[in-house]
């Protein structure tokens, strides 16, 4: 039993040795410090978010103002604006593809999970660093390499990948299909391979760290819900990303070596291709086996962050801590057995469809439990409306409004009507896109003081929140109607058919709202970078929070705590405990110091705790002395 603690001390020792000879390169570039790696992920994620958002503005211009001359974009887009000043239709496809890829993988997976798992796991469980700092560094640099390749693909003459972010074959497998299936698709696959490697390296590290390197007293039942969420996210990633790798590998063979895993009986220009015996539905199965868990890879960290922020700023214990964990576990397991609800119209056996419909609808239960717990935590709390808190409440709002439409779409009978329409677009942008984005924003506002030792400006934060919150609903709510009217997603033009012609006004409205919402993000960007250097100096625990990260110095060095790692004596949600002097009791305060607020069963534990503390001077690791 003593091995773990010895390993713990080893890493601690290493950390101290490194601290002394950090130069610019090892501190800011090839850093092995989890805090710096987290910040690297964050800044790269923000860079991608700006690009991904900008791409969406480009295609919203086309959708909202189909007759507008885009001549003024020629300096930027060059040949993608044709002679008449219109956006090139194939480039439109590339835009939606890249918007999806960038937002799902580069912003909401790497930018969210990468940032906060790295930054918070060691700080909140009381570890010096990740299990392997080197692997962690490698994880970021694989992501960086993947980013560079994906970024280059935006500028090649045939354009980036254009087959939708799901890159279904045969469209993505045949170079002749569209320009985007040429070089752009190859670069997409290469970039995603590095991305998968990055995610796996990160995920292995997160799981190992949470299991092996918790500080004394930090049992699983005392972990903050953030850590539970990051842990389960990493587990999902570990099980699902290899499957995407397998799918991509077979696609690479089909594209570049002429195999027929996904291709069969295809005629181009009257000529038959040599490929026979492949099955495109096979790709869909493999892809969605990752694709659906990916939704929860994106969402769970945001939900974890929200749990923490809502509890802190409601000054109340999180309602149903155990229920939260069980529902996250439920979501984790269910996420692997619902993938075919993306494929109701793929020609799959309808009986199979019914099974997947049933399993899909079960996910509503843990999701509803979570929503209920958020609302009951907020109920009659002493709410403190920090920007982080507002974004968390915004997340809950999107999770409800987007989740309700999920119940419709999960039913195969309705999905056949709504499949691939703007209804789906509205659904997942609310429940997954915006909700996770709000979780990311909430996290940045909340942990900015820990990251940079300064506060972000709250007033700008409020403006940013309201503009974004109202903006998101303005953008995505009308899309439900457009979708119910039957308009399919990924189409270049609205005005060519009479049935969709009547929605031109609504689309114009959506596009204007999108531009305003995108514009509002620059308030955040200014606030973020300005506060990094000029913000008000933060106090050590600005939100009066219980978790361990607030016990570190203002600018923690590599190794996090200057002295010994603090031990943990209670769960992280002792807010407004009856009898206590303050309305929060940090996890590091022993029960024996708070007799006035202890509950009967905790009073029992005090005796045990005192014994341990007495032993502490004699034995190095008291609880492991015997086994």
CB 311 within 8 A of CB 377: yes
With respect to another protein, which residue has the nearer C-beta, 127 or 178?
127
232 binds another protein, rule: CB under 8 A: no
| DSSP bridge pairs for 81 | 87
Candidates 26, 90, 158, 279; binder of another protein (CB under 8 A) is: 279
124 binds another protein, rule: CB under 8 A: no
With respect to another protein, which residue has the nearer C-beta, 241 or 319?
241
Stretch that binds another protein, among 12-20, 143-151, 239-247, 393-401 (CB under 8 A): 239-247
Stretch that binds another protein, among 80-88, 175-183, 252-260, 501-509 (CB under 8 A): 252-260
Phi/psi of residue 61, nearest 5 degrees? -60, -45
CB 328 within 8 A of CB 366: yes
With respect to another protein, which residue has the nearer C-beta, 108 or 247?
247
With respect to another protein, which residue has the nearer C-beta, 7 or 365?
7
- C-alpha dihedral (262, 267, 268, 269), degrees to nearest 10: 180
349 binds another protein, rule: CB under 8 A: no
CB 116 within 8 A of CB 301: yes
Candidates 72, 220, 358, 385; binder of another protein (CB under 8 A) is: 220
With respect to another protein, which residue has the nearer C-beta, 279 or 541?
279
- 554 alpha carbon, distance to own chain's centre: 27
Total of chain residues touching another protein, rule CB under 8 A = 61
Name residues contacting another protein, limited to 4-23 (CB under 8 A). 4-5, 7-8
619 binds another protein, rule: CB under 8 A: no
With respect to another protein, which residue has the nearer C-beta, 189 or 207?
207
With respect to another protein, which residue has the nearer C-beta, 91 or 261?
261
Name residues contacting another protein, limited to 591-610 (CB under 8 A). 605, 608-609
Residue 254 parent element (H or E)? helix 225-256
Candidates 15, 63, 131, 520; binder of another protein (CB under 8 A) is: 131
> How far, in Å, CA of 75 to CA of 54, rounded?
15
Name residues contacting another protein, limited to 134-153 (CB under 8 A). 135
Name residues contacting another protein, limited to 284-343 (CB under 8 A). 285-286, 289
Beta-carbon contacts of residue 268 (< 8 Å; ≥ 6 apart): 174, 176
166 binds another protein, rule: CB under 8 A: no
DSSP 152-171: HHTTSTT-S--STTTT-TTT
> How far, in Å, CA of 5 to CA of 624, rounded?
9
Please give the C-alpha separations between residue 623 and each of 11, 617, 619, 627, in angstroms, as whole numbers.
20, 13, 9, 9
> How far, in Å, CA of 282 to CA of 254, rounded?
13
Candidates 246, 268, 413, 540; binder of another protein (CB under 8 A) is: 246
209 binds another protein, rule: CB under 8 A: yes
* Cα first-last separation, the chain: 7
Candidates 155, 257, 267, 533; binder of another protein (CB under 8 A) is: 257
Nearest approach in angstroms of CB 231 to another protein is: 12
**Cβ density class 530-558: b for 16+ within 10 Å, e for less:** ebeeebeebeebebbbbbbbbbbeeebbb
Q: Enumerate binding residues for another protein (CB under 8 A).
A: 1-5, 7-8, 131-132, 135, 200, 203-205, 207-209, 211-214, 216-217, 219-221, 238-243, 245-247, 249-250, 253, 257-261, 264, 276-279, 282, 285-286, 289, 605, 608-609, 611-612, 623-624, 626-627
């Amino acid at each position: 039993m003593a091995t773990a603690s010895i390993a713990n001390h080893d890493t601690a020792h290493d950390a101290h040795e490194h601290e002394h000879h950090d130069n610019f390169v090892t501190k800011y570039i090839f850093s092995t410090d989890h805090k710096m790696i987290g910040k690297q992920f964050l800044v790269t994620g923000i860079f991608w978010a700006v690009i991904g958002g900008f791409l969406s503005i480009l295609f919203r211009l086309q959708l909202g103002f189909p007759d507008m001359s885009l001549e003024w974009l020629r300096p930027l887009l060059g040949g993608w604006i044709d002679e008449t000043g219109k956006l090139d239709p194939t480039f439109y496809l590339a835009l939606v593809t890249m918007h999806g890829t960038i937002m799902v993988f580069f912003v909401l997976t790497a930018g969210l999970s990468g940032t906060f798992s790295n930054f918070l796991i060691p700080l909140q469980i009381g570890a010096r660093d990740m299990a392997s700092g080197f692997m962690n560094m490698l994880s970021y640099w694989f992501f960086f390499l993947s980013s560079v390749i994906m970024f280059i693909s935006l500028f090649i003459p045939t354009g980036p990948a254009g087959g939708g972010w799901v890159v279904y074959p045969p469209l993505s497998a045949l170079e002749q299909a569209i320009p985007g299936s040429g070089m752009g698709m190859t670069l997409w696959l290469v970039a995603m391979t590095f991305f998968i490697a990055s995610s796996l390296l990160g995920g292995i590290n997160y799981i190992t760290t949470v299991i092996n390197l918790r500080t004394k007293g930090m049992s699983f039942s005392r972990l903050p819900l953030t850590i539970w969420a990051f842990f389960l996210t990493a587990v999902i990633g570990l099980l699902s990303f290899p499957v995407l790798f397998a799918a991509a590998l077979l696609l690479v063979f089909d594209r570049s070596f002429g195999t027929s895993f996904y291709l069969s009986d295809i005629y181009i220009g009257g000529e038959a291709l040599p490929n026979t015996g492949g099955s495109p539905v096979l790709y869909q199965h493999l892809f969605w086996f990752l694709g659906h868990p990916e939704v929860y890879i994106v969402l769970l960290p945001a939900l974890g962050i929200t749990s923490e922020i809502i509890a802190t700023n409601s000054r109340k214990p999180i309602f149903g801590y155990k229920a939260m964990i069980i529902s996250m576990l439920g979501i984790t397991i269910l996420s692997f057995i619902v993938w075919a609800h993306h494929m109701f119209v793929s020609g799959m056996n309808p009986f199979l469809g019914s099974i997947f419909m049933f399993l899909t609808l079960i996910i509503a239960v843990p999701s509803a439990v979570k929503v209920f717990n958020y609302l009951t935590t907020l109920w009659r709390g002493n709410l403190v409306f920090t920007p982080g808190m507002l974004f968390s409440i915004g997340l809950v709002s999107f999770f409800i409004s987007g989740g309700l439409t999920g119940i419709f779409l999960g039913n195969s009978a309705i999905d056949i009507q709504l499949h691939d329409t703007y209804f789906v677009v509205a659904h997942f942008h609310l429940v997954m896109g915006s909700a996770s984005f709000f979780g990311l924003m909430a996290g940045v506002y909340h942990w900015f003081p820990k990251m940079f030792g300064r506060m972000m400006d709250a007033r700008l934060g409020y403006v940013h929140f309201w503009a974004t919150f109202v903006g998101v609903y303005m953008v995505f709510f009308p899309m439900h109607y457009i979708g119910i009217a039957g308009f399919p997603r990924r189409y270049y033009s609205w005005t060519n058919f009479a049935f969709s012609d009547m929605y031109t006004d609504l689309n114009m409205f959506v596009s204007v709202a999108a531009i305003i919402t995108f514009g509002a993000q620059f308030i955040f960007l200014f606030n973020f970078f300005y506060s990094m250097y000029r913000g008000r100096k933060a106090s050590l625990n600005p939100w009066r929070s219980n978790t361990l990260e607030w016990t570190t110095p203002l600018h923690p060095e590599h190794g996090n705590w200057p002295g010994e790692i603090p031990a943990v004596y209670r769960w992280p949600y002792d807010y407004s405990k009856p009898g206590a002097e303050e309305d929060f009791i940090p996890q590091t305060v022993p029960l024996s110091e708070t007799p006035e607020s202890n509950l009967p069963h905790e009073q029992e534990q005090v005796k045990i705790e005192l014994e341990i503390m007495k032993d502490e001077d004699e034995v190095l690791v008291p609880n492991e002395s015997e086994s």
